[in-house]
Amino acid sequence: MSTAERLFSEHGLSAVSNRQICEAAGQGNVAAVSYHFTGKAGLIRAILSTHGDQIDRIRGRHLAEVGDSDDIRDWVGCLVRPVAEHLASLGTPSWQARFGVQVMIDPLLRAISIDEALVRNSLRRTLEGLGRCLEDLPAPVRAERGDMARHLITHTCAERERALAEGAVPPRSSWARTAEALTDAIVGLLTAPVTPRTTS
144-191 pLDDT per residue, tens: 999 999 999 999 999 999 999 999 987 778 999 999 999 999 999 999
What percentage of residues in the chain have a pLDDT greater than 90? 72
- pLDDT, mean of residues 64-86: 97
Dump pLDDT digits (tens) for 28-42.
Answer: 777 888 878 888 889
Alpha carbon distance 59, 77 (integer Å):
9
Alpha carbon distance 2, 170 (integer Å):
27
Nearest to 178 by CA among 147, 152, 156: 156
Alpha carbon distance 97, 158 (integer Å):
5
The torsion of the CA quartet 178, 132, 57, 66, rounded to 10 degrees, works out to: 80
Maximum C-alpha span of the chain = 65
Q: What pTM was computed for the model?
A: 0.91
- Range of weakest confidence among 105-114, 120-129, 148-157: 105-114
